[in-house]
Structure 1
């Protein structure tokens, strides 16, 4: 009976040790808070990001992959740039429609 209790105690201790190690290595599953502006080493131009700028992006590699804060920051900047370009393109759309209508006549 004592031998069974010893095995159970060792199994519990090993399990607790592995659980603690996994929390240390992989984190606790918490979401990261937003990164303060201009705190990322990832670089993009303030305005007019080009395809070459996006291709040149490099992110820090952490234990579990890329730093999520840097990737989120880069995606937010690119989304702003796309929204800006689409808004500018929308300004030219009525003029383009008028050109097409006059060309059809």
Structure 2
């Protein structure tokens, strides 16, 4: 019985060795004409690349789960992109606010008071509509 198990083990080890070395390049991959490489099971970038991210896009993000949880690299990539787009939007909002404040200041010096929308009001009216 012992010799039979030893012979079976030698056959199995020999078969695995031949399979690895017989792959053609010694890498253990498929031989030419063998099975093609499997496609990755990860989906493409879940956020749109041609427009800014909308709240609905963030809600719709579903990151693939790996055997021990989410793939950290993919989560980091999505969060980095969201952070960059939010920073860009915040900078643009501040730029527009500064531009609006400048226009309001110019309207105040050139004419009467200015309403909250930046439109000059009559000479006796104030910005909030009170006399």
Q: TM-score, normalised by structure 1?
A: 0.53
Structure 2 partner of 1:77: 81
Larger Rg: 2
On the 8 A contact 1:40/1:70 being kept in 2, the answer is no
Structure 2 partner of 1:35: none
Aligned residues between the structures = 67
- Residue by residue over 1:55-78, the C-alpha shift from the partner in whole angstroms, topping out at 9 and shown as x without a partner, is 010111112211111110100110
Greater fraction of residues in helix: 1
Which segments of 5 or more consecutive residues in structure 1 lack a partner in the other structure? Answer: 1-38
Quote the RMSD (CA, aligned, Å): 2.4
- Residue by residue over 1:7-27, the C-alpha shift from the partner in whole angstroms, topping out at 9 and shown as x without a partner, is xxxxxxxxxxxxxxxxxxxxx
Q: TM-score, normalised by structure 2?
A: 0.43
Aligned counterparts of 1:85 and 1:40: Cα–Cα separation in 2: 27
Which segments of 5 or more consecutive residues in structure 2 lack a partner in the other structure? Answer: 1-41, 109-113, 115-125
- Residue by residue over 1:17-44, the C-alpha shift from the partner in whole angstroms, topping out at 9 and shown as x without a partner, is xxxxxxxxxxxxxxxxxxxxxx863411
Structure of greater relative contact order (alpha carbons < 8 Å, 6+ residues apart): 1
